[in-house]
């Protein structure tokens, strides 16, 4: 076997460890910075500082600012859609929806930065993930909308346009992450407590579940 090729492979396998660590650190730092200040509002220096390395070093792992941004977006996208993907067509409709809402609320509470990152990206026209929205996301939503439509036809839940139902669940649940500042300004410091989070879950769930009771 070619010696250079072998070297290269070994090197790749070895360096992967340190590369993986640094890429991980960078992406974590980038999520925080980008979600707080947006793409244009963030600087490579900021990300580098939070990642504990110099700017040229960071650029050794990601050639361009855009690359970091796209990477962190792609990485979080999958996680973000997992709850919807997990909506079980064979499950009990009301329980499935209640679980979906609960998981979305939990994610908003636990990883608000991820929610804000998307919100910002979409707010500005989703320049980096247009294709994803029109393909993967659309397919997933259409599929699950079909499931909801079936449940409605079977009178298991009230009839509402299923796409709009999904949008409203997204809106209501992500609101608490994206508009956290506003919620906190109105509700005061209490808004950070666990009991507030429970009250939120109660209110959102009860409104949706009442609204969706078959009648």
Partner DNA sequence: GTTCCCTTTTACCGCTTGGTCAACTTTCGC
Partner DNA sequence: GCGAAAGTTGACCAAGCGGTAAAAGGGAAC
Interface positions with a copy of itself (CB under 8 A)? 36-41, 116, 119-120, 122-126, 130, 133-134, 137-138, 141-142, 158, 160-161, 163-165, 167-168, 170-172, 174-176, 178-179, 181-183, 185-187, 199-200, 202-204, 206-208, 210-213, 215
18 makes contact with DNA (CB under 7 A): yes
43 makes contact with DNA (CB under 7 A): yes
Q: Where are the alpha helices (DSSP H) in the chain?
A: 3-41, 44-51, 55-61, 65-85, 93-110, 112-123, 130-132, 138-153, 162-178, 180-187, 194-212
Q: Which does 11 bind (CB under 5 to 8 A by kind): DNA, a copy of itself, none?
A: DNA
Q: What is the closest distance, in whole angstroms, from the C-beta atom of residue 166 to a copy of itself in the complex? A: 9
What is the token pair recorded at 122? 């979409």
Tokens 């009991």 belong to which residue? 195
Q: What is the closest distance, in whole angstroms, from the C-beta atom of residue 127 to DNA in the complex? A: 14
Q: Which does 45 bind (CB under 5 to 8 A by kind): a copy of itself, DNA, none?
A: DNA
Backbone angles phi, psi at 74, to 5 degrees: -60, -40
193 makes contact with DNA (CB under 7 A): no
Instruction: Round to whole Å and give the CA distance between 105 and 108.
Output: 5
Instruction: Round to whole Å and give the CA distance between 178 and 195.
Output: 20
**Nearer CB in complex with a copy of itself: 17/215:** 215
* Residues contacting residue 57 through CB under 8 Å, at least 6 positions apart: 48
Which residues lie near DNA (CB under 7 A)?
4, 6-8, 10-12, 14-15, 17-19, 22, 42-45, 53-57, 59-60, 63-66
């Amino acid at each position: 076997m070619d010696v250079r090729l072998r070297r290269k492979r070994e090197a790749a396998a070895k360096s992967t460890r340190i590369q993986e660590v640094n890429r991980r650190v960078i992406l974590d730092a980038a999520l925080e910075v980008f979600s707080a200040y947006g793409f244009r509002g963030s600087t490579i220096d900021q990300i580098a500082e939070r990642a504990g390395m110099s700017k040229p070093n960071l650029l050794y792992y990601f050639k361009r600012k855009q690359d970091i941004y796209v990477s962190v977006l792609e990485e979080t996208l999958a996680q973000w859609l997992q709850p919807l993907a997990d909506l079980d067509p064979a499950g009990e409709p009301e329980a499935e929806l209640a679980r979906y809402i609960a998981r979305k609320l939990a994610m908003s509470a636990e990883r608000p930065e991820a929610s804000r990152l998307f919100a910002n990206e979409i707010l500005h026209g989703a320049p980096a993930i247009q294709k994803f929205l029109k393909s993967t996301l659309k397919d997933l939503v259409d599929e699950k909308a079909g499931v909801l439509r079936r449940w409605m036809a079977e009178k298991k839940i009230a009839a509402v346009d299923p796409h709009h139902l999904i949008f409203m669940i997204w809106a209501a649940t992500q609101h608490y992450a994206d508009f956290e500042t506003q919620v906190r300004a109105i509700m005061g410091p209490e808004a950070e407590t666990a009991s507030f989070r429970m009250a939120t879950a109660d209110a959102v769930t009860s409104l949706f579940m009442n609204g969706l009771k078959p009648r």
